[in-house]
Amino acid sequence: MTARISRWPGIELTAADLHEGKVTQTRFRPDAKYAWSAGEAMSRFLEELQNGRLIARTCRKCARVLFPPRMFCEECFRPTDAWTYIRDTGTIETFSISYLDTDARRIPEPILVGVVSLDGASPKMGMMHYFGGMTKDEIRIGMRVKAVWKPKEERRGSVLDILGFRPLGEGES
Ligand SMILES: [Zn+2]
């Protein structure tokens, strides 16, 4: 048995009814606060940044060190196995010389951004960040770099707890 509705009960409102105030209305600005979980791997990664450390996950099957850490290996289709710290030194994988800031405004002095593959992680595993302590003419792919950390009390559990990556000095590791 099916019930058919041929006519909706009530009175249909038009836009004009709203504009002319024929309907009771209220306006408010909600003070909404949001919180969400970054997930197991990313939460630990952010927490460790606050301590000035970079953490990765290992996969026993393909013997890779995944960074940033992930709880699942996309090569083996299985959960990763353990946490491991990697170093805060690495190699510039790619870079851009940008004359636009983060708000897409034109800037006279370029910012240098790109991907660093980090020592201790598997090849091509890295993070995107700023480069400093070098000019646009000096930066090159393959350059050895080291993280410059914010002072501990200013760290917030963010990738910006690292100010950027600067050239690794002679004999420095
Ligand atoms: Zn794997």
CB 93 within 8 A of CB 115: yes
- For residue 52, the CA-to-ligand 1 centroid distance in Å is 27
- For residue 130, the CA-to-ligand 1 centroid distance in Å is 29
- For residue 124, the CA-to-ligand 1 centroid distance in Å is 15
Residue 130 has a pLDDT of 97
Residue 84 has a pLDDT of 98
Residue 112 has a pLDDT of 97
Dihedral, CA of residue 13, residue 17, residue 23 and residue 28, to nearest 10:
100
Beta bridge partners of 117: 91, 126
- 10-residue mean pLDDT profile of the chain (173 residues): values are 76 88 88 89 96 97 97 96 97 96 92 96 93 96 97 96 94 78
- For residue 77, the CA-to-ligand 1 centroid distance in Å is 7
Main-chain phi, psi angles of 81, to 5 degrees:
-105, -40
- For residue 91, the CA-to-ligand 1 centroid distance in Å is 23
Residue 173 has a pLDDT of 72
- DSSP readout, 56-115? EEEETTTTEEESS--SEETTTTEE--EEEEE-SEEEEEEEEEEEE-TTS-EEEEEEEEEE
Residue 62 has a pLDDT of 97
pTM: 0.77
